[in-house]
Structure 1
């Protein structure tokens, strides 16, 4: 290694790259128009080198960024030598442009220093509406990608600093919320401009002729770190699967199946045996499936592992064509970042947990998501994402699961919005948003609790239901832990009728009360070995009822509700002092 590429300098370069990603995210949060960005942070910023290799994904949602290199490589493929300073590219298509699903638009800005292309700054953001058959662009009734909204190949949105007004008008014509999309696109473009300015300064410091060497240095370092982590895995072949019990229209007996081969040379992650693609919009693209695998691998080990594409040079991913993890066109795909993205992560975690049991994780629960759209009293259209009905995380050795959190594929990166802001923006009134008692999976380390969420929708509205977490428990237990509770949704109409909507579907209802209880995460380890004082704290916090404390944990709560009945607890437990 040359003196210029010593470990300290490389660490500083990686930190600078990650800081630039964070700066881009701060710009986006402060300037975007839609609450989906300004509050919930459903976007991700990342950097790629001149070859389209991801060199930083420090800000955002993991399912967005792990496959970011596919998008940049599509830009390089389609425009080759027609990439110039002050160009800005736009894309979303999962079949032709390296997209994961259509609502996630990617802005990619090339970075030039002294006339040389050195990198790209990118922002992938989930647009509030891109047309299609349902407001909010989660069309649960879709059976082909043409039902899901506008498809964008790699397009040059800005050419040599001049915005293509014809293309801009086309984009705004294909959304129900043109004002919001207009502002959000400008925020995305602005964030990549700030990132490009900062990245150009870094390249100038290391020298434009040496930028590739430094970028290769951080990628090679990530490779070494990840290989060192994988050396702790038991060598061999490990198999796991996750069920997929519906195709958005009917029950099916589907599976995501993985075979993980661990050898001295690296990992093979093979999805042979996975079920064929389905009729509904849960099919995954190559970019999305790859991103989910990268996310599962990176999150299984130490949190300080470098998050760039170099980390996965020793990983071979096999995605059989025509299956749920690599669908053929024109299969619909909008739900794939959530499901089957969730199942891909879980199944890889299960296989890794066999090879390194002390790092195993109980299951994260599956979410309840509905998009509600209608008219405000002033006649303007609105689209509200029901993020607050959030799922919960599974427990691991040494840590309880996180309570209602932004879904597995975000690893908590999706923030729950401020309900007061929602009441200001939309014709709604919130009645309840609290932790759900007895939803968390019992274990030595308890799963996270789901939520009890109730909101009044004050005007007639369209509902797009995407509620995978309804029904049977989805947050499975591990090593003796138990599953968290399943989820439920009901809608109470003005005439007193109560209905249970389908897990997937598009319906219209008049003013109504929407009530959801989201599922809990799985527990880890035998519940009877949980620290009794931790059980007491859970009871006092409303996470566990006194009855469940006795039944599941063998801990008897005294009548005052604030102490443990030690004598009765000793009769139920051997390990209580």
Structure 2
């Protein structure tokens, strides 16, 4: 669907709003509890800390209630949910340590409700609202369902609580509400703006029935609805207890101070970081089933004093299912900001979000207009733009000593979605089942300047994420997991290695009818898990359906396969977006993405490579090819390694195009201000020039150059290493290449990426390096 907006749909959209303006608009219609700045300033520190921790305890108890009541592994195992306490206008005072992307959307639904539901049907004590409209807010796509309630004290609106989680299925054409062929929202789950699901503390059964009726798994959706109602009920009771104990004015003053403190602490950090502008681009390979295009997300981040601006102007138009609304745009930004800049700040998201602005053209991938298809929003464009935000933040922080330990290459690229659904025939009465494969949560984290990325450590946006238990998956669904393991050589090569990814294989077991399969992913032709400072991207994702494998017949001979090579039959490579069936004799294989590397892999300590070999993290071939390390009987052959690395640098030189410009000047190695692992800024004649940190060769002078003068190489993507196994032509028509930029003197890698050949090298822009 193009960016054409259906008339009237603009009403169903939400943006941040000035709290004072919103309160003024409610005068005469809804009494609101507020406090003065003096009451906030007069709080004594002890009272503030005690109540702050009580509010944190309330949110924790809400989360535990939701987990205990839900029957969905998405919640109980993978922790893909969140909750919040908000002030009277919806600003988020405290959010949970679960899916932090959702923190970018919760308040939007409350803003919209206050603007559109006060008069009819009204906002009253004992109400709860349900919504899954990503244009309104609350969640990032329709499967993110929020239940939120107003909290009244002595007749005044005091605050709100909310609980939100991903639902396994809410109808639509595709299984799990993912329709790979969708070109508009009408093929997906129905977006529902806030409706009153609880009235006078009673669930409205007509609304609840209408809600769960749309799902292929109504029992789970119904249970999750009650779980979210239960979490909010606990939140209301506990919050009122705190109010009764300490007084409404004191508690409200603490809530306001929490947001102010979070804002002040983040602004303090930003002031200590260098001002400047950083740019980058990322790609979605394919937008829907049958598409062979590459779709660009472009970001320019500007940091000035204590404020950030994220400008996505130039991003491609909305297409297929790879779109997100403004809620997804803000959620993607929070994906990076909260763990990278606010990891030691209480997550009062309402305060944190005051520290940045978002600019995005309406009708683009990252700010889609209705009726765009948005089912892929959180784990497609929102996740991808969050990785770009993280990349720019890392480049900014890499210049400092204080914040360098927060620098991190891209984590796991994207979430590799697979939905399996069919008929469970293990009981006396066959019943439908639907499983969203969450094993891919065991993804690799990006490398940091001083440490390797965590292997199969999780996903960036869910700090408390967990890997589902294999036995529980097999108990719930007629599926058998043949293997789930870490895969060697998958982490992005670098001076610090990216975290490894994993693979898993599933067969139908307990059903004799075909199982439906929907796949939705990216990063199969173009890498989404890029490295930093010359570090290589992690592995590309692969999905395969193996037909007529003979696995069950092998069981009778006590043979269990542990690799694709051990299987009979044909292997069908799965596209980024598609649907198929898995027969009882077939197998689904998924190999998801790892973390990117940091720094040139030829600078990695050879003994760390030997340790990785002993741990099964790399193979002998990977050690030699990616790191230039030769190992005999477990020990590093230092002489052979030095010779191999010299040979690899000579290969870089031979295949690269030398820069046409350049002064040829040389500076003393190790001098100047750090830019990253490979670059320094050296003062020369009152300005800063850029030089190689390793050999001192001058790479750019702003008086004569607009870009870095570096050696340029472009070749087949497979040259990035054995972990880049994909053939891009299987997925997209665009030419995809391994591009490497190196110092033209010592041939240390400055940038390494798997990108479309049309990719603009933002890393070459000299302006980004000389602003101090």
Interval containing the TM-score (normalised by the shorter chain): over 0.9
The residue correspondences of 1:498-509 to structure 2 (distance < 5 A) are: 498-509=571-582
Partner SS state of residue 284, structure 2: strand
Displacement of 1:480 in angstroms is 2.1
2: distance between equivalents of 1:207 and 1:4? 14
Aligned equivalent of 2:74: 36
1: CA distance, partners of 2:625 / 2:302:
41
Structure 1, unpaired ranges of 5+: none
More divergent stretch after superposition (564-573 vs 111-120): 564-573
- Name the structure 2 match of 1:398: 450
* Residue 517 (str. 1) matches residue 591 (str. 2): yes
Once residues 415 and 145 of structure 2 are traced to their aligned partners in structure 1, the CA distance between those partners, rounded to angstroms, is 23
Rounded to whole Å, the distance in 1 between the matches of 2:329 and 2:448 is 24
- Aligned residue number for residue 482 of structure 1: 536
Tell me the TM-score normalized by structure 2: 0.71
**Contact 1:268–1:316 (Cα < 8 Å) also in 2:** yes
Q: TM-score, normalised by structure 1?
A: 0.94
410, 418, 421: which one aligns with 1:363: 410
- The answer as to whether partners of 1:25 and 1:60 remain within 8 angstroms in 2 is no
User: 1:175 maps to what in 2?
Assistant: 215
Q: Secondary structure of the residue that 1:337 maps to in structure 2?
A: coil
Counterparts in 2 of 1:124-523, with a 5 A limit?
A: 124-249=164-289, 250-264=291-305, 266-278=307-319, 280-307=320-347, 308-357=349-398, 358=404, 359-364=406-411, 365-377=413-425, 378-390=429-441, 391-408=443-460, 410-458=461-509, 459=511, 460-494=514-548, 496-511=569-584, 512-523=586-597
Q: CA deviation at 1:281?
A: 1.4
8 Å CA contact retained: 2:100, 2:338? no
SS at match of 2:279: strand
Q: Is the 8 A contact 1:74 1:98 kept in 2?
A: no
Structure 2: where are the runs of 5+ without partners? 1-37, 399-403, 550-568, 647-693, 695-772
Q: Shift of the alpha carbon at 1:135? A: 2.0
Shift of 1:471: 3.4
How many residue pairs match? The answer is 571
Instruction: State how far apart, in whole Å, the 1-side matches of 2:272 and 2:337 are.
Output: 13
Shift of residue 178, structure 1, vs aligned partner = 1.3
| 2:298 aligned counterpart, secondary structure | strand
Q: Is the 8 A contact 1:118 1:211 kept in 2?
A: no
**SS of structure 1 residue aligned to 2:631:** coil
Find the residue that maps to 2:324 and give its secondary structure: coil
CA contact (8 A) 1:422 1:428 kept: yes
CA distance in 2, matches of 1:189, 1:93: 18
Partner Cα separation in structure 1 for residue 540 and residue 532 of structure 2:
17
Structure 1 runs of 4+ with >6 Å offset: none
By how many angstroms is 1:110 displaced?
1.7
SS at match of 1:383: strand
1:56 matched to which residue of 2? Answer: 94
Structure 1 residue matching 2:101: 3-state secondary structure: helix
> Which structure has the larger Rg?
2
Alignment pair present for 1:6 and 2:44: yes
Q: Does 1:85 align with 2:89?
A: no
Distance of aligned partners of 1:318 and 1:473 in 2 relative to their CA distance in 1, 3 Å threshold = closer
Which whole-Å CA distance do the structure 2 matches of 1:426 and 1:271 have between them? 42
TM-fit CA distance, 1:96: 3.7
- CA shift, 1:425, in A, is 1.3
Whether contact under 8 Å (1:105, 1:125) holds in the other structure is yes
**RMSD over equivalenced CA pairs, Å:** 2.2
Equivalent position of 2:134 in the other structure: 94
CA drift of 1:571 comes to 5.2
Q: SS at 2:177's partner residue? A: coil
Distance 1:470 1:573 in 2: 29
Work out the CA distance in 1 between the residues paired with 2:44 and 2:452.
39
Distance of aligned partners of 1:242 and 1:6 in 2 relative to their CA distance in 1, 3 Å threshold? farther
C-alpha contact 1:93 1:152 (8 A) present in aligned 2: yes
- Distance in 1 (CA, whole Å) between partners of 2:437 and 2:189 is 20
Q: Distance in 1 between matches of 2:182 and 2:52?
A: 42
How far residue 265 of structure 1 moved from its aligned partner, in angstroms, is 5.3
Mapping of 1:93-132 within 5 angstroms? 93-96=133-136, 98-132=138-172
Distance in 1 between residues matched to 2:437 and 2:458, nearest whole Å: 12
